Structure 1
Amino acid sequence: MVPPPQGPAKRTSLSGPALVRILARFGETEVLASEQPLADRLSQWLGWTDAIALSTVLSAPAASMAAAAGARTNGADEAQRGLELRSALSKAIACDALLAPAKRALRGAALAQARAQVPETPEMDADFALYRQCYLALQQKMESDIGDLRTRLRSRLAVQSAPMAKLATLDAAMERSLAARERSLLGTVPGLLGAHFERLRKAAKAAQAELEAQADATKQAEAPTQAPTAAPAATPAADTPAGAAAQSPADRGAPGPQAWLDTFRKDMQSVLLAELDVRFQPVEGLIAALRAR
């Protein structure tokens, strides 16, 4: 029996973090799910000193200890603290003056802050350096605030019980081992956004040039039909074909020149929120451990 012809390898759809899926969509690339087990992939991120440190923590017996009076908690207060921090960081992303859509009305001090932060330049001449600086600042805020909460949660776990104290020690070791790799990977995100920024601007310039070319062609095609000595028509110019050709792209329902930048701002907010999800995963795990003790 002749075996069936071998076709292309079957592609596995990516079901990982939203951050990876969004960035892959922006770059119009297909990211395949890894066939390696998680433990094998994780081992590639750890140096031999990190592996020894983690092995030492895992092999050490949980030391018996007595919880301090009043130190035990059901985790509800820390869960609330986590919700408040996540809400505050999400609000910082959504309300950042640079990322607010151009159509959003800003008043008072917010308007003054936005004008100071965003120089008035033509939309096509927008500088990505401003957005890169904004992204890095929000990244730093997430890393700092979430790191502080993670440290606090470990200290709360350490006084609950011996197994919880061991979990806190393991989390601290994992954070030290993976921090450099995490910072390196997340540090590439602004560069990927910069490429997305340029693709959107290039497409917008091409679309605008095409509209202008169509408008010029329409005017040239209609010019010979107009008699030089003809009296001005009583009908308003907007009701004539020539008047229609003179309308702006926005009047004809086409996106305005700033639409691409508004799209980029929303996309950048989506990436920041997706990164927030990734950064918050260890915190959610520690909170779950506190509530399940």
Structure 2
Amino acid sequence: MLQVPRRTGFSGPTLVRLLARLADADAPAPASSLSSQLSQWLGWADAIALSAALKNAPAIAASAAGGTEAQECARVRARLADAIAEDAAPAGRRRGPPRPSALPDPVDAQVDYAVQRQRYLTLQQTMESTIGSLRAALRAALSARSPALAKLAMVDAVMERVLGTREQSLLGAVPNLLEPHFQRLRQAAAAALEHPAQAAGQPAAIRPGTWLGVFRKDMQSVLLAELEIRWQPVEGLLAALQDS
């Protein structure tokens, strides 16, 4: 199978480690603490809103298990993971009618990265809208349970509004970070096909289009890692519904 050199040994979130490995670059250490960075992202109006939500917030009381909410969260996450896996599959193996971006399914060395970027952006938009709706539903469930949980729902709403723009900016750069990896795979495949290093009578080690399958699997891994990050607020809200 076609491979390119990859670094190992990074620490931090899976998404950061994957991008550093695929980009063959060192992951920089954070320049400041999380609390310091948050203070830079919050404007004065945001700080007032967050302070009001946190002021005199009582301890979260025990609540009944959110069985219905848990089932819905599991269903939504499975649906998002399936959409990511289906997008990475070859066109002939995808379920349902073919999407315009999947016709034709390119396997030659001249395929344009713009197609892959649009696929990534489309899945990002799907995750953002779906998870946003789910968070709103969980906040509504929290608000109906108790005043303490209503406070938590208010804090989450403020944090989503405050950090949403920053999150979109950071995650929106991910497709561009994947492009150099795409180009390296394509160039390596072209070089291998042009100058095959194989013994006489043995089958070729590289087939046209193999590199694109490798890239799609790598992009799938990055998307699943991004889903993991986007899902963290949902896990927090669901845990508050399920226990004290």
Q: TM-score range by the shorter chain?
A: 0.7 to 0.9
Contact 1:15 1:33 in 2 (8 A): no
Partner of 2:123: 138
Letter matched to residue 274 of structure 1: A
Partner of 1:19: 15
* 1:234-290 deviation line (CA, Å, top 9, x unaligned): xxxxxxxxxx74x5xxx5351212221110010011111111101100000000000
SS in 2 for 1:140: helix
Partner of 2:80: 89
Question: Which residue among 36, 47, 50 is the counterpart of 1:40?
Answer: 36
TM-align CA RMSD: 2.4
Give the Cα separation in 1 of the matches to 2:67 and 2:11.
31
Give the Cα separation in 2 of the matches to 1:192 and 1:151.
31
Partner of 2:167: 182
Letter matched to residue 144 of structure 2: V
Give the Cα separation in 2 of the matches to 1:253 and 1:203.
15
Give the Cα separation in 2 of the matches to 1:152 and 1:122.
42
Contact 1:14 1:33 in 2 (8 A): no
Question: Which residue among 44, 47, 51 is the counterpart of 1:51?
Answer: 47
* 1:24-69 deviation line (CA, Å, top 9, x unaligned): 101111114336332112222222222222122212555xxxxxxx
* 1:181-201 deviation line (CA, Å, top 9, x unaligned): 000111001111122111111
1:266 aligns with 2:217: yes
Show the 5 A alignment for 1:224-239.
none
Partner of 1:225: none
TM-score (norm: length of structure 2): 0.86
- For the pair shown, the structure with the greater C-alpha radius of gyration is 1
Give the Cα separation in 2 of the matches to 1:19 and 1:116.
25
Partner of 2:239: 288
Unaligned runs of 5+ in 2: 1-8
Task: Identify the structure with bigger relative contact order (alpha carbons < 8 Å, sequence gap 6+).
Answer: 2
Contact 1:14 1:32 in 2 (8 A): no
Unaligned runs of 5+ in 1: 1-12, 63-71, 216-243
Partner of 1:127: 112
Give the Cα separation in 2 of the matches to 1:142 and 1:160.
27
Give the Cα separation in 2 of the matches to 1:276 and 1:139.
9
Show the 5 A alignment for 1:141-152.
141-152=126-137
Letter matched to residue 209 of structure 2: Q
Question: Which residue among 81, 93, 100 is the counterpart of 1:106?
Answer: 93
| Structure 1 residue 133, shift from structure 2 partner | 1.2
Give the Cα separation in 1 of the matches to 2:194 and 2:234.
49
| Structure 1 residue 207, shift from structure 2 partner | 2.1
Residues 1:106 and 1:115: Cα distance change in structure 2 (over 3 Å): farther
Partner of 1:78: 69
* 1:102-132 deviation line (CA, Å, top 9, x unaligned): 7xx538x74x616872325551011111111
* 1:3-38 deviation line (CA, Å, top 9, x unaligned): xxxxxxxxxx64321111101101111114336332
Residues 1:132 and 1:264: Cα distance change in structure 2 (over 3 Å): same
Contact 2:113 2:182 in 1 (8 A): yes
* 1:201-248 deviation line (CA, Å, top 9, x unaligned): 11212222222xx68xxxxxxxxxxxxxxxxxxxxxxxxxxxx74x5x
Residues 1:120 and 1:42: Cα distance change in structure 2 (over 3 Å): closer
Residues 1:194 and 1:152: Cα distance change in structure 2 (over 3 Å): same
Runs of 4+ in 1 over 6 A off after TM superposition: none
Partner of 1:204: 189
| Structure 1 residue 84, shift from structure 2 partner | 0.7
Partner of 1:5: none
Partner of 2:143: 158
Letter matched to residue 81 of structure 1: E
Aligned length: 232
Amino-acid identity (%): 51
Letter matched to residue 172 of structure 1: A
Give the Cα separation in 2 of the matches to 1:146 and 1:284.
11
